[in-house]
Amino acid sequence: MNTREELVKEYAYCVRNPIHAIESYLQTFDLTHNGYVPFVLFDQQKTAIRNYESERYNILLKYRQAGASSFSAAYFACKGAFADPERPEKILIVANKLDTAVEFLTKIVDYLKQFPEWVPIRGKDGKFARESQKYIKLKNKSEYKAVASSPDALRGFTPTYIVLDEAAFIEGGSPFWAQCLASVSTGGKATLISTPNGLDDIYYAQYEGAIERNNNFKITEMKWYHDPRYNQDLKFVRTPDIIKWMLTPEEERTEEVIRVLMDGDEQTRHDYWRTLIEMGYRPHSGWFENTCRQMNFNRRNIAQEVECSFLGSGDNVIDIETILQQEKENCKDPLKKEWMTDMWIWKYPEPDHRYVAGLDVSRGDSDDSTGLVILDYDTWEEVAEYHGKIPPDLAATLLQKYGIQYQAFTCIDITGGMGIATTRKLAELNYPTKLLYYDGLSPMELFGGAPEGALPGINFSARNNRVQIVQAMEEAIRVGKFKIRSVRLTNELRKFVYVNGKPDHLKGAHDDLIMALGMAIFAANVSFTLLQKNNAQLDAMAKSWRNYETTNQPILEQNPAAMSNNQHKEHSLPFMPETNPYAAGMGRQAYDQYKWLFGVSAKEIEEYKKTGIIPEGYR
C-alpha cells in the first residue's frame, strides 16, 4: 500500500470492518509464547464484535479466560482511531474499581500505538493530543476516559460509547445504571462485559430483561467449549452434576459419554452442542477438568469463572437457588395493604397461634427505612410486613397496633439509638412488657417482670449479635423451610452478600427487612426453640403443673411434720424452684400471661390436665 489511493481504500475498509483492522494491524500478548503474536480472532470473538457494530446495546457473558477484555479493547481502539474528526468518539470505561477501568484503558492505548502512521491519531511528534493514566485524547479528537463507578462518574463527559467492564461487580445498583442509560440516551451505545456474580441489579437484571425481551440488549454468550484453545478433546457427559462425575473414580463412572468432532460450520456445531445440553449432557475437556482441579472443585468459583452461570456464582448469604425457590413457591401478593400501602398482610391472627416479630428502626429521613416482619411460629411463615420511612415514634405506634393485634413477641434493634427512642415511646403507650424481647434475659427470668433499668431490644454490636441473627435466619430459610411471602424481602436477599467475610448488603442496597426477619427468628429460637429442646425441663415443668393441681397431697401425706419448708418446696415444685412462677408467688393469672413463651398453647395445657400426657413435640 504505497499509493495514496490504496491507503484511502484501506482506511475506508478498516472503518467498515473492525475485524479486518484488528487482524491486519494489531498484536496481542500470548502467555504460551511469552510474547506478542498476531491478533487472530476465533469465531465467537468475531460474533461479539459484529454485535458491537450492529447493536446499540450489548451484553457479553464470558468465562474468565475468554480474552474478552483484550478483543473488546482492540475493538474500541479501532472505533476511536478510525472515527471521523467531525464526529469523534467519546468512549467511557467504567468499572467497580478505578484500577480495573485503567487496566482496560491501558490495553486500548497499547493497541492504539500499534496502528501505522497513516492512521491520523498522533501528532508529528508521535504523541497523542493528551495522554494520562485515566484520559486519552487523539489527534482526530476522539477521547477515552476511565472512571470508577460513583454518582459523579458521568459528570462532565457525555459518551458516545459507555463500557461497563466486570459489570456484575459494579456497585450502585439501579440508580447508577439509570445514570448510565441517561448518558447515552441521545444516541450513544452501551456495552456490559462481565462474568456472572449472582443476581445483581445491573448485569443480571439487563441479561434477564434481554432474555424476556423486555429491553433492547443483544446477548453474546461466550462458553469455554466454544474456544478452540480449550475444546480440543471436547466431550459431553450425560449427568446432572459434572463436578461429582469428575470426582468419581474412572472405573466407577457409568454415565453415557459423547465425543464430538469439530466438523461443519460454527453455527451447526454450536446448535448441536446446545441440543445436547438441553438433553441433560454437560461439556467436559481436559482443560476444563484441570481448571476445576486448580479451583479445588469449588462450585461457586467454577460457576462464576468457567461455566458462566448466574446461579451459584454470587457471594450471597442465602444461595440464589433458595431465593428463586422462595419466589416461585412461597412469595405471593398480600391479602391486604395498609398503613399507606406499606404494611403488607398475608394472614390475620389465628387463635392459639404464636407470633414473633422483628423491628428494625430508622430515622425516617434517610435512605434507610423501617422494617417490621411478623411471623407465625406454628406455621413457620411470614404473615405481615412493613417497609417504609417513618421516625422512631411512629414505629412505636405501628408496633402498638400490629404487635398487640398479633400478640407478637417482638425483638427491636436498639443499635445506634433509634430503637431506644421507639422503646421509650412504647413505654408511654403502656405497651405490654411481656411482648418485648430483652437481650440476655430468658423468658423464665422475665416471669416476675423485667428487672429495673433493663432495656428491651437487642444491640447488634454486643456479643456478636449480628452474626448470630444472620446465622439464625440463614439456617431457618435453608434448613428450616421458613416460608417468605414478600418479594420486597427476597429482593433484599439478592443483594445481601459476604463483604470481606462478613454478611452485609451491597452498596446502594438495604437490609431493613432482612434484619427484622433475622431478629424475629433469633428471638423465636431463644424464647421457644431452645426451651423445647430441653426435654427434661419440659417434663419437670409438666410435673410441676400436676403437683400444683393436686396440692401435692401424696408428698405431704408421707411425713409432713418431718419436712422443712425448703424441703417441701423442693419436692412439691421440682422444676427450677427459684424461678417457677408459682414459687415466685405469681399465681395462676400471671402464669397464664406468660405460658405461651414455653411454646405450649392454653389448649394443650388443658388437655394435659385431663390426660396427664405431655403434648407431642414437647416431650
Q: How far is CA 417 from CA 265, 361, 430, 460, 547, in A?
A: 67, 9, 20, 11, 46
Q: Taking a C-beta distance cutoff of 8 angstroms, is the pair 581, 590 a contact?
A: yes
Within 10 angstroms of residue 615's Cβ, the number of other Cβ atoms is 17
Beta bridge mates, 370: 388
- Please give the order of strands across the beta sheet that includes 257-259: 257-259, 235-238, 281-284
What was the pLDDT predicted at 341?
Answer: 94
SS3 254: coil
Give the per-residue pLDDT at 562: 40
Report the alpha-carbon distance of residue 204 to residue 215 in Å, rounded. 13
DSSP-derived secondary structure letter, 333: -
Measured distance CA(83)–CA(81) in Å, rounded: 6
The pLDDT score that the predictor gives to residue 101 is: 96
Q: Are 281 and 222 in contact (CB under 8 A)?
A: no
The whole-number pLDDT of residue 572 equals 31
Measured in whole angstroms, the distance separating CA 316 from the mean position of its chain's CA atoms is: 4
Give me the pLDDT at residue 390, please.
94
DSSP 169: G
Using one digit for the tens of pLDDT, what is the confidence trace for 238-290? 998 899 999 999 999 999 999 987 777 777 888 899 899 989 999 999 999 99
The set of residues, in sequence order, having a beta carbon less than 8 Å from that of 233 and lying 6+ positions away, is 285, 286
Residue ranges of the chain with per-residue pLDDT less than 70: 1-2, 32, 311-314, 366, 442-450, 463, 528-619
Residue partners of 607: CB distance under 8 A and separation at least 6: 613, 615
Q: What is the pLDDT of residue 316?
A: 81
- pLDDT confidence of residue 197: 84
Edge-to-edge strands, sheet with 217-221: 130-131, 135-137, 143-148, 90-95, 161-165, 189-194, 57-61, 217-221
- Convert the pLDDT of each residue in 37-83 to its tens digit: 999 998 889 999 999 999 999 999 998 888 899 999 999 999 999 99
C-alpha grid cell for residue 35? 510474547
- pLDDT at position 579 is 40
* CA distances (Å), origin 110, targets 35, 77, 78, 91, 103: 14, 9, 12, 16, 11
Q: What is the pLDDT of residue 265?
A: 78
Q: Is the dihedral of CA 194, 199, 201, 205 positive or negative?
A: positive
Tell me the β-bridge partners of 345. 336, 384
Q: Are strands 90-95 and 189-194 parallel, antiparallel or unpaired?
A: unpaired
Domains of the chain, CATH where assigned = 4-222 (3.40.50.300), 226-305 (no CATH), 320-530 (3.30.420.240), 534-611 (no CATH)
Angle between helices 68-81 and 18-25 (to 10 degrees): 110
